[in-house]
Chains A and B, each alone.
Chain A
Amino acid sequence: MRVKLWGTRGSVPSPGPETIRYGGNTSCVGITLSDGSLLALDAGTGIRNLGISLPPELTRLHILLTHLHLDHIQGLVFFAPAFRAQTEIVIWGPASPEASLRDRIARYISAPLSPVEVRELPCDVSFRHTPETEWEIGPARIRAASVAHRGPTLGYRIDDGESSLAYIPDHEPALGADIDALEEDWISGFALARDASLLIHDGQYADDEYPDHIGWGHSSLSHALSFARRSGAERTVLFHHDPLHSDERLDRLGVEARKHWVELGGKAEAVELGSEGSTYELPVRVPATAKAT
């Protein structure tokens, strides 16, 4: 499984010279499975560049949406394959008692917010609510589960052979809970991340910023690392960077994160802050001692 980060920013695109290294595009991760099948995790503005990178002859791909906040769907109407008649796109996302996934996404892909309507997209697009049970896409087994954020929000786990990726970009598992003290089955998202080869997880706030953002649906750096430690992920990428965090600020947070991880018993190289354009080949082979225990 090959993983590429196309958008690592949270909340709102934040382009500019101060964010050029970690990137200003919002959430999108491209996955190439072992048989060459393609998945996109979320459709923030990062999916635009993913679309540009894909060959025009591509016939099918799946987009797995964690939720429908704008920073996770904004790129849909700028995704080149959506404008090719030969492309079949399957969009997965959370169910809601209020309206279907298609109808909720159509609130964005419709006038006056969008120049095109869903029905006008040239591609063959379908919308599916994620099942409660595991399902398959190509060689991969996919699991989705609700996680603590604002509104119906999913995390995903993708298993392909020996490789496993957990993707939980918007997540506040410490809301009203002590991650270090809770039993595992009471930790939001735990089963998705357990022993994953790679965990991509919300790390939006510095620890000193979190108290002013309790309940906003995101993690502090320490909470994200506590979650990673409990879950036993081999490697952790902190993601969904706050739009106010410059490259220099993120560099400092990266140093803090690695220091904290070492204090938890792990190896510094097992934790990093996600950068737009970074790629990961799974399974990663981090020495067992690099995992915190």
Chain B
Amino acid sequence: MSQRPLELILARNLMSALSTPAFLVDEGGVLIFYNEAAGMLLGKRFEELGTVGPEEWGSLFGPLDADGKPIPYDELPLVVAVRNDRPAHANFKIRSASGSLQMVEASAFPILTAHGSRGAIAVFWPASSNGGAHR
């Protein structure tokens, strides 16, 4: 197994210490970690799920717009951040492992280094509005 870049190691260490739900993907869009707070939101701990390839994780937990329609993978903030090297924000619903729906806001930002992109981080928190996905 290859060594993770330091920037991802430090990101995971930080996320592990946070109560803010957070996701981490590598430069290829593979979901490589989410923290305990995100696990509570999703109803499943990362250790139970393990790494998940791009495209696949996008559909694991919804995400759905305000009308309940699936949001295309390419439009998810984390995907926008890792592919376009820019921050992105959206509101949408996610489906937990128990099937319940939760409206969340998500902000994602890229992890850029002198050698290029390493991946991206997204933080989530419950949304109070019923607004649909927006960027």
Query: Which A residues are closer than 8 A to B by beta carbons?
Result: 94-97, 129, 132, 145-148, 152, 175-177, 183-188, 190-191
Given the known interface contacts A175-B13, A176-B17, the answer about A148 and B6 at a Cβ–Cβ threshold of 8 Å is: yes
Tell whether B114 is near chain A: CB-to-CB under 8 Å: yes
Asked whether A185 lies within 8 Å of B14 as measured between CB atoms, the reply is: no
Give every chain A residue within 8 A of B3 (Cβ-Cβ): 145, 185, 190-191
Give every chain A residue within 8 A of B13 (Cβ-Cβ): 175-177
**What 7 A-B pairs have minimum CB-CB distances, sorted nearest first?**
A176-B13, A191-B3, A146-B6, A95-B114, A185-B1, A177-B13, A185-B4
- Interchain nearest-CB distance for A177 vs B (Å): 5
Give every chain A residue within 8 A of B12 (Cβ-Cβ): 186
Chief secondary structure at chain A's binding surface: loop
Asked whether B4 lies within 8 Å of A148 as measured between CB atoms, the reply is: no
Asked whether A148 lies within 8 Å of B10 as measured between CB atoms, the reply is: yes
- Interchain nearest-CB distance for A157 vs B (Å): 11
Query: Which B residues are closer than 8 A to A by beta carbons?
Result: 1-7, 9-10, 12-14, 16-17, 113-115
Asked whether A132 lies within 8 Å of B9 as measured between CB atoms, the reply is: no
Given contacts A186-B9, A188-B6, 9 further A-B contacts (CB under 8 A): A94-B114, A95-B115, A97-B114, A132-B115, A145-B3, A148-B9, A176-B10, A185-B1, A187-B9
Give every chain B residue within 8 A of A176 (Cβ-Cβ): 10, 13-14, 16-17
Q: Once the chains are docked, how many angstroms separate the CA of A97 from the CA of B9?
A: 20
Report the nearest A residue to B10, measured CB to CB: A148
Report the nearest A residue to B115, measured CB to CB: A132
Q: Once the chains are docked, how many angstroms separate the CA of A176 from the CA of B3?
A: 18
Asked whether A146 lies within 8 Å of B5 as measured between CB atoms, the reply is: yes
Q: Once the chains are docked, how many angstroms separate the CA of A129 from the CA of B113?
A: 14
Report the nearest A residue to B15, measured CB to CB: A176
Give every chain B residue within 8 A of A187 (Cβ-Cβ): 9
- Interchain nearest-CB distance for B100 vs A (Å): 31
Q: Once the chains are docked, how many angstroms separate the CA of A147 from the CA of B9?
A: 9
- Interchain nearest-CB distance for A38 vs B (Å): 28
- Interchain nearest-CB distance for A128 vs B (Å): 14
Give every chain B residue within 8 A of A186 (Cβ-Cβ): 4, 9, 12
Report the nearest A residue to B6, measured CB to CB: A146
Report the nearest A residue to B2, measured CB to CB: A185
18 example contacts (A-B, Cβ-Cβ < 8 A) are as follows: A132-B115, A145-B3, A146-B5, A146-B6, A148-B6, A148-B9, A148-B10, A175-B13, A176-B13, A176-B14, A177-B13, A184-B1, A185-B2, A185-B3, A186-B12, A188-B10, A191-B2, A191-B3
Report the nearest A residue to B3, measured CB to CB: A191
Neighbour of A96 across the interface among B1, B16, B114, CB < 8 A: B114
Give every chain A residue within 8 A of B113 (Cβ-Cβ): 97
